[in-house]
Amino acid sequence: MKNIVRLIILGMLYLSIQSCEEEPRIDFIDTNGGAPAQVTNVVVENTPGGAVLKYKLGKDVNLAYVKAVYEITPGVLKESKSSIYSDTLRLEGFGNTEEKEVKVFSVGRNEKVSEPVLVKVKPLNPPVTLAYDDLSIETAFGGVRVRIKNKLKANLAIVIDADTSGKGVLRPLQTFYTAVDSGAFTVRGLSSKEMKFSVYLRDRWGNKSLAVVKDLTPLFEKFVPKPFASYELPTDQPALSGTYALSNMWDGVASGAIYASRNNTSMPQWFTVDLKIPVVLSRMKAHQRVQNFTYNYSCVKAFELWGSNQPARDGSWDGWQLIGTFKSFKPSGTAVGTLTAEDIAYGYTNGEDFEMQDTPPAFRYVRFKTTETWLLGANQVTISELSFWGEF
């Protein structure tokens, strides 16, 4: 028994001594140490507007990270860094396919830098150039429309200029930001007169595409005056309460009260609007619910627009003609629940425009039929404001 006790005491003493010994500090920086060894076996994979470098790290314990230094445009340097837990550097921001020299450095904990490893890269066509091949501009009601295909879903700015004064000087008109694979962006509020328009693409590094330049005449349209009137039919979906009445959609204030249908109501559902005069509709603008609700919950994602001059009083679809089928567009292309400043500006602040695909007859009554909301299964519809344009 005494031997066992003695062994236990000796063991505890040993552990105590061990714990008192100073362990090496992992944050120790040897300021007198040399620069770490260079990386080796660098392999280049050229990518659109960039390149991926894979390499073998040295075994120097002083190594903190690896960095690449390169010129994206004359006089403009960019750095890319990677920790010791990776063997890859990603380069981006090149605006053309010319061969470039890249310097790869190993950097120590003491910030001493190795001699560079020189690497040649030859980027593929950058996204701003690839998207230009499918960039177009055309006339629209009250303005012009730009169409783009952005297969790489790169973050791009669509810059639209116009000679609005007629003096031969192109001035900034509007800039849209997007990362979707394809879309259409429209500038409104222009008079129906011929003028010169220009559109080009720009990425976040300042690289620009060539410009598409055209002389275009925006199509004529007039704003349909408000207020409209409710025209309740038996099969229409009632509002949640008087606070969320249909008339909130034409009070002229997108940031004010909203329309909301009853909770737990199935899709599709619809309501009817009396424009008070027959109108050949050219487009409709819808403002979604404010901010965190935008492109989410019960905001409208897909809908149909129907027109009539003699609606059936029983609420059936007799006497109604389909004007068009529409789907809401989210500029960022992100999933539901992720919202960017561009999304809020497009869907809520400025309102989303829906242009009629064909020229319909003149209708006094319009039926808005929601087929899908942004959050599947929301079972309610909310809209801040509706506006219409056309000829009357």
pLDDT tens per residue, range 276-321: 999 999 999 999 999 789 999 999 999 999 999 999 999 999 999 9
Query: Into how many domains does the chain fold?
Result: 3
255 and 356 belong to one structural domain:
yes
- For the cut 70, the answer to whether the pLDDT of residue 386 exceeds it is yes
Q: Tell me what the mean pLDDT of segment 11-18 comes to.
A: 49
Residue 19 lies in a domain: no
Closest CA to 194 of 163, 222, 171: 163
Q: Which of 199, 216, 233 is the last residue of a domain?
A: 216
Q: How far is CA 78 from CA 93, 104, 236, 250, in A?
A: 8, 12, 59, 51
355 and 311 belong to one structural domain:
yes
Pick the range with the lowest mean pLDDT from 27-41, 149-163, 192-206: 27-41
Q: Which two tokens stand for residue 347?
A: 């869907």
- For the cut 80, the answer to whether the pLDDT of residue 2 exceeds it is no
100 and 141 belong to one structural domain:
no
Q: Which of 121, 140, 157 is the last residue of a domain?
A: 121
d(CA 144, CA 173): 11
Print burial letters for 347-360: b (CB count within 10 Å at least 16), e (below 16): bbbebbbbbbeeeb
- For the cut 70, the answer to whether the pLDDT of residue 24 exceeds it is no
Across the chain, mean pLDDT equals 91
pLDDT band at 229 (very low <50, low <70, confident <90, very high): very high
Find out whether 127 and 144 touch, Cβ atoms under 8 Å: no
State the number of CA atoms in the 13 A half-sphere of 46 facing the CB: 16
Q: For residues 13 and 265, which has the higher predicted lDDT (pLDDT)?
A: 265
- For the cut 60, the answer to whether the pLDDT of residue 12 exceeds it is no
Q: Tell me what the mean pLDDT of segment 38-45 comes to.
A: 96
55 and 137 belong to one structural domain:
no
d(CA 368, CA 320): 11
- For the cut 60, the answer to whether the pLDDT of residue 13 exceeds it is no
Provide the whole-model pTM.
0.71
d(CA 276, CA 205): 51
Q: Which two tokens stand for residue 96?
A: 């053309």
Residue 231 lies in a domain: yes
Q: Which are the contacts of 249, defined by CB distance < 8 A and separation ≥ 6? A: 258, 259, 383, 384, 385, 386
Q: How far is CA 197 from the centre of its chain?
A: 24
- Residue 23 pLDDT: 41
336 and 359 belong to one structural domain:
yes
Residue 22 lies in a domain: no
- Residue 29 pLDDT: 64
d(CA 257, CA 168): 44
- Residue 21 pLDDT: 43
Taking only the tens place, the pLDDT of each residue in 333-343 is 999 999 999 99
- Residue 317 pLDDT: 98
Determine the longest span between alpha carbons in the chain, in angstroms: 110
Q: Which of 182, 216, 250 is the last residue of a domain?
A: 216
- For the cut 70, the answer to whether the pLDDT of residue 4 exceeds it is no
Q: Which two tokens stand for residue 343?
A: 């999304």
pLDDT band at 61 (very low <50, low <70, confident <90, very high): confident
105 and 140 belong to one structural domain:
no
Q: Tell me what the mean pLDDT of segment 345-368 comes to.
A: 94
Q: How far is CA 230 from CA 233, 239, 246, 315, in A?
A: 10, 11, 7, 14
Pick the range with the lowest mean pLDDT from 94-98, 148-152, 242-246, 374-378: 374-378
pLDDT band at 59 (very low <50, low <70, confident <90, very high): confident
Q: How far is CA 226 from CA 201, 223, 360, in A?
A: 37, 9, 21
- Residue 378 pLDDT: 87
Closest CA to 220 of 388, 392, 391: 391
- Residue 200 pLDDT: 98
pLDDT band at 34 (very low <50, low <70, confident <90, very high): confident
Closest CA to 31 of 108, 114, 116: 108
Pick the range with the lowest mean pLDDT from 27-31, 37-41, 92-96, 308-312: 27-31
329 and 197 belong to one structural domain:
no
Residue 31 lies in a domain: no
Q: Tell me what the mean pLDDT of segment 128-141 comes to.
A: 95
Q: Which are the contacts of 221, defined by CB distance < 8 A and separation ≥ 6? A: 141, 142, 282, 283, 389, 390, 391
Range of the domain at 145: 127-216
